[in-house]
Structure 1
Amino acid sequence: MKANLAQQTRIFVFLRQLAYPHICNVEEELRPQLILSPMVKHLYIFLFALLSCVQSYGQGWERIYGGGGQDVARAISKTRDGGYILTGYYNGNIRLYLLKVDADGKLQWSKTFAGPQGNSRLEGYGVVATPDNGYAIVGYVDPDGIGTTFNRDIYLLKTDEFGNKEWDKTFGGNLADEARAITLLSDGCFVITGFQSFDNGNSENVFILKTDSQGNTLWFNNYGATGARKKGLAITQAQNGDLLVAGELKASNFNSKDAYVLRVGLSGNLIKEQTYEMEDMGVTGDDEARSIVSTDDGSFAVAGFSTIGPGGQGFVFKVDATLSSNPVWANLYPTSDFYGITRDKSTGNLYASGIKTIGPLADLNIVKMDPVGQILWEAIVGRGGVDAGYAVLPTRDGAISAGFTEPTVGSFGDSYAYLV
């Protein structure tokens, strides 16, 4: 078994990204031991499959970017040249962070953006490549720059292919409004989701905003009720063009949170909304759906986190196109906490990414699942402190995850954007 583990780690080659003058400040280092052996029942199957398919699986690597103090990648999207665009925040959400990397994660350029008033706090949560080779980024802006959650606006930024700002727009009311995800439609329009506060901050609505390619509002709809808290955290498009939002719903202060899925038409008309509650041995907890992806048969896979059990559990469940109250299947993954899910269109396999907790360690994990959610393999990557994967995409030979890494235990205020 020890020989197998040694071969496994040699497959992954880790390189530290060289410094770029205004942002990155990291040294080169080879760290093959950062892949920790997956402590799951599929360990032997995983190692056998991995060692049998080295040529087709390819090499793994990590890249670390930053230098601002607290730097985090929240979202990743494929670019038209085969590379990736990442967004998040730089220097503890003081500035929005945008990074362009090639297919191997090598940094090509990076930009940071201040808000419209210079001292505004900005954070990026979603990014897409646009038909003109540029990028559209969404998140929130705190116009006053004082860091409160009660004075935030939805923020949409458009850049050219080199990350130079072309225009930006803000949307929202008088309280907290945040965008969490964006998708690009075939007509070049953008659809954005997130949540808005109302009722003096005592209630929250899911919103869906559609803009044209210049950021002009086409429609802006809210879905919610007074006294309830609904959040839209992810968005995808169905095969027929409908829009699906995943998030959370807390019906009242006396209720636990449920995973929440909303389906609307292309004009924003409500088709159906449904809640889902995870259960383990009759026990329930707070559930949060953080990511959603369409599947081959027109259904949807949803990933997130439940507080069931010690430390909580990650979950993935599949719902049909009608959003039936009974999932097609639902699986819990102990000691995992999922933030992103994606699908390999060629095989139908799923990849989820988030945090894996093993004893005192909290590391980034990427879990490959078959179309019914059974684990095929799990890669766990860690450094000294907390590591997390917030977003995941399929690649030719596996998957890529973006998030953050802390160099040492307890190094709050010292994190780096992370790509594995």
Structure 2
Amino acid sequence: MTMATWNNRLTMISRPTWLWLIPLTLTFAQPVHAQLAPEWYHIHARPYKDFGKSVILTSDGGFAVTGFAASDSGSGGELLLLRTDSQGNLEWSRTYGSSDFDKGKEILQTADGGYIIAGYSIFHESNPLARQALVMKTDADGEEIWTQYFGSSGVDSAFDIVPVQGGGFFVAGDYELEGNDRNTYLILLDEDGSVIWEQVVGDELADERTFTGCQLSNGSFVYGGNVRHPLVADNPSDFHIGSVDIQGNLLWEREFGGEGVDIVRRMRALPTGGFVLIGETELLPSTPESHDDMYVAMFTEDGDSVWTSLIGTAGDEECYGLEITSDGGLITAGSTLGPNTNSWDLYVAKVDTLGNTEYTWSYLSPGIEFGKGIVEQAPGEYVLTGKTTYQTDVAGSLLLIKLVETVNSYDQPNLRTHRQEQVTSGYTLHPVFPNPTNADAVVSLTLPKSGYINTAVYDLMGRQVAVLQDGVLTTGIHHIALAGNNLASGVYFVRAVVPGEMDEVQRITIIR
């Protein structure tokens, strides 16, 4: 490996249990607008916490997920590789690790049908805070072929890996310098995992975190994250992007952002040239109304801005997953924390080629849910992975959910609209969760003040079949159990009535 410096900016250097729901295709007679609806929902539940970080569509139509699986002792954990069929049913899962803590951040399928995963490994014996970037290759059955470690004795990570034109892989992450600041860490590997070059890019006086990278159609590589200048007052962090050529020589760097915290989370190349990225930007910093919105932007190969878009609510949004869709647009996956809630929920946004938001979707779960990765299975069909605390007794379980584009036949706003209404009216009957279901479900209500409310279940003939709540509830969010086992298969409606304030209906399907 060759070391060099250019202008102080570039330095070379047990089987899990699955809870499942039967898929259902929904059709509506009077379309109003496009939105997403869950088709199936799987929870990968073990005794300890699991995370899904990245999901891909495999060559046989199934899915592969990488992430993190807590150890049986509950301390530390291992890198997770999980394989399902096209309906999300578990085929096998494996964990890997030779250290105290290993985590997978991004996964690819290789030409031989196997998988390659980028992440990091923590070795507590040498340094309680130290970690190394890792890249691991497996065969199609998940058997480990090789694992490579990269970095110094500090805190080093690999957050993204993409295929390279002509073969090999490009890895993006960060590398710790003396003084605990970090710079961008880029590695070019051949198909066998051997290093072609590795580089640390950045300013010695800056703290740069890099979370993503990709190769553009002109052969160059771009990377992105955030940068902070510790010697500059009131400088929380800015967006940071840059580019190197095929030999790793620095081409350009850009820093931009507002007065708050700005972060690039994921970027992907466009087939027409240039690239798109997602992240978060802080609005109204240092005020009671401060919150994060999803930031989506398109850039040319030279790093010039084409368009930018902000997506979000009055609460906080995080965004981690990004996929270029078959229609040329973007689908993103993340989480949202509404202004009147105290837990995170899944959040998805669809953006067209000009940066216009086509729709957003969120699911108010009784638990806490984080969206981390997303992939397109077919036009209008997406699979998302992340973490959920719903139906688990642990800190979280791996989530895999399929969402399909559909149309709404009645005047019901999506959850993003619901949350905007909470700021003014506040009364909300949220979508029933999970839906469809073959067991119990949860009905969630938001009430801006204490008072009487009646919540009941009706069949398609309009007959009341169950009363869920009939009395006074206090201000706040309430979760009410709906005993699906007591109902026959079919379509039902949950109606919530606050006299003179709210009369809302949500649909639920029971499957036996």
Q: TM-score, normalised by structure 2?
A: 0.67
Task: In structure 2, list runs of 5 or more residues that go unmatched.
Answer: 1-13, 25-29, 285-289, 402-512
Tell me the alpha carbon deviations over residues 45-83 of structure 1, each in whole angstroms, 9 at most, x when there is no partner. x972348xxxxx896222211314110011122222222
1:135 aligns with 2:110: no
Tell me the alpha carbon deviations over residues 265-321 of structure 1, each in whole angstroms, 9 at most, x when there is no partner. 11111111112214xxxxx31100001122353122211112224332111122222
SS of the residue aligned with 1:48? coil
Contact in 2 for aligned 1:134/1:158 (Cα 8 Å): yes
Contact in 2 for aligned 1:121/1:147 (Cα 8 Å): no
1:271 aligns with 2:255: no
Of 359, 373, 377, which aligns to 2:355?
373
Of 15, 18, 21, which aligns to 1:23?
15
User: Which residue identity is paired with 1:142?
Assistant: I
Of 291, 296, 304, which aligns to 2:279?
304
Tell me the alpha carbon deviations over residues 310-333 of structure 1, each in whole angstroms, 9 at most, x when there is no partner. 332111122222112x55333242
What's the counterpart of residue 83 of structure 1? 62
User: Which residue identity is paired with 1:277?
Assistant: G
SS of the residue aligned with 1:103? coil
Tell me the alpha carbon deviations over residues 14-40 of structure 1, each in whole angstroms, 9 at most, x when there is no partner. xxxxxxxx23234445799xxxxxxxx
1:414 aligns with 2:395: yes
Change beyond 3 A, Cα 1:27–1:127:
closer
Of 211, 226, 233, which aligns to 1:248?
226
SS of the residue aligned with 1:392? strand
Of 361, 375, 385, which aligns to 1:393?
375
User: Which residue identity is paired with 2:15?
Assistant: I
Of 160, 182, 190, which aligns to 1:212?
190
1:363 aligns with 2:355: no
Shift of 1:382: 4.2
What is the 5 A alignment of 1:265-344?
Answer: 265-278=245-258, 284-309=259-284, 310-324=290-304, 326-334=305-313, 335=315, 336-344=317-325
1:384 aligns with 2:366: yes
SS of the residue aligned with 1:182? strand
User: Which residue identity is paired with 1:370?
Assistant: D
Contact in 2 for aligned 1:366/1:399 (Cα 8 Å): no
Change beyond 3 A, Cα 1:145–1:75:
farther
1:379 and 1:104 map into 2 onto residues whose CA distance is 21
* Greater percentage in helix: 1
User: Which residue identity is paired with 1:316?
Assistant: V
Shift of 1:246: 1.5
1:106 and 1:59 map into 2 onto residues whose CA distance is 15
Q: Which moved more, 1:100-109 or 1:127-136?
A: 100-109
Change beyond 3 A, Cα 1:48–1:145:
farther
2:19 and 2:63 map into 1 onto residues whose CA distance is 22
Change beyond 3 A, Cα 1:145–1:384:
farther
1:110 aligns with 2:93: yes
1:69 and 1:376 map into 2 onto residues whose CA distance is 38
Percentage of identical aligned residues: 22
Q: Which of the two has higher C-alpha Rg? A: 2
SS of the residue aligned with 2:240? strand
* Greater percentage in strand: 2
1:238 aligns with 2:213: no
What's the counterpart of residue 262 of structure 1? 242
Contact in 1 for aligned 2:372/2:384 (Cα 8 Å): yes
User: Which residue identity is paired with 1:221?
Assistant: Q
In the TM superposition, structure 1's runs of 4+ consecutive aligned residues that sit over 3 Å from their partners are: 26-32, 145-148
What's the counterpart of residue 467 of structure 2? none
1:195 aligns with 2:174: yes
Q: TM-score, normalised by structure 1?
A: 0.81
How many residue pairs are counted as aligned between the two chains? 368
2:80 and 2:38 map into 1 onto residues whose CA distance is 27
User: Which residue identity is paired with 2:95?
Assistant: T
What's the counterpart of residue 155 of structure 1? 134
1:146 and 1:29 map into 2 onto residues whose CA distance is 45
1:163 and 1:31 map into 2 onto residues whose CA distance is 27
Tell me the alpha carbon deviations over residues 146-181 of structure 1, each in whole angstroms, 9 at most, x when there is no partner. 994x31011111111010111111111111111101
What's the counterpart of residue 223 of structure 1? 201
Q: Which moved more, 1:174-183 or 1:367-376?
A: 367-376
Change beyond 3 A, Cα 1:47–1:151:
farther
For the aligned residue pairs, the C-alpha RMSD in angstroms reads: 2.6
User: Which residue identity is paired with 1:24?
Assistant: P
SS of the residue aligned with 2:296? strand
Shift of 1:379: 2.4
Change beyond 3 A, Cα 1:333–1:296:
farther
Change beyond 3 A, Cα 1:132–1:93:
farther
Contact in 2 for aligned 1:245/1:292 (Cα 8 Å): yes
What's the counterpart of residue 40 of structure 1? none
Contact in 2 for aligned 1:66/1:90 (Cα 8 Å): no
Shift of 1:408: 6.9
User: Which residue identity is paired with 1:239?
Assistant: S
